[in-house]
Amino acid sequence: MVKIFSIFVVLVGLMNGVSFANDDGGLLWDDSIGNISIGMPEIEVEKVLGSPSKRGKEKLWGADGAYHQTMEYKDSGISVGMVSEKKKGKKLVESLRVKSPCRLATKRGILIGSTREEVSAAYKDVWNKEDSERFGGFVAGSIYGGLIFNFTDGRVNEIFLGAAAE
């Protein structure tokens, strides 16, 4: 719960122009998938990706007191998690998940279809061995904020940017 609250505080701070230190090697805030990054306003996401094919319902989470919504771009293999302080409020990106047929790459050049070796070479400086062993895949940063790469037959089949645990 502390991590979710921390992320919410950071996102609220971003709305107000405040910057925060990172405990994930900077990946949560410094990396992106394509031109989509954590903290990006909804209007900017739609400028890049267009209107989503599906917009989930806004849900109030008791853990952080914020409203969460998912924007799906099914034909592109992109799912964007959004968060806001209040219902129908200004939304910011809190997470991003991509799978095939998405062709967007991380800042370090990893995309769907990249090999495990390419991921290891690109993110070796921020590899979280413990989280990777415990949860599978390749965790860069941490499960509390960073990138998670999942594989099928040694190739990336999904990339997640955000906080995967509280």
Does pLDDT of 166 surpass 70? no
pTM: 0.84
Comparing 94 with 20, the larger pLDDT belongs to: 94
Residue range of the domain that includes 64: 2-162
Phi–psi pair at 31, nearest 5 degrees: -90, 170
pLDDT of residue 164: 85
pLDDT of residue 11: 45
Does pLDDT of 61 surpass 80? yes
How many Å apart are CA 163 and CA 146, to the nearest integer? Answer: 7
Q: What is the mean pLDDT of residues 36-57?
A: 96
How many Å apart are CA 59 and CA 76, to the nearest integer? Answer: 24
pLDDT of residue 17: 41
Q: Rounded to whole angstroms, what are the CA distances from 132 to 23, 103, 156, 164? A: 17, 24, 14, 12
User: What pLDDT digit, counting tens, does each position of 68-92 carry?
Assistant: 999 999 999 999 999 999 999 999 9
- Domain tally for the chain? 1
Report the mean per-residue pLDDT for the chain. Answer: 86
- Identify the sign of the CA torsion 164, 6, 10, 90: positive
User: What pLDDT digit, counting tens, does each position of 3-30 carry?
Assistant: 444 444 444 444 434 333 344 446 677 8
User: What pLDDT digit, counting tens, does each position of 109-161 carry?
Assistant: 999 999 999 999 999 999 999 999 998 899 999 998 999 999 999 999 999 99
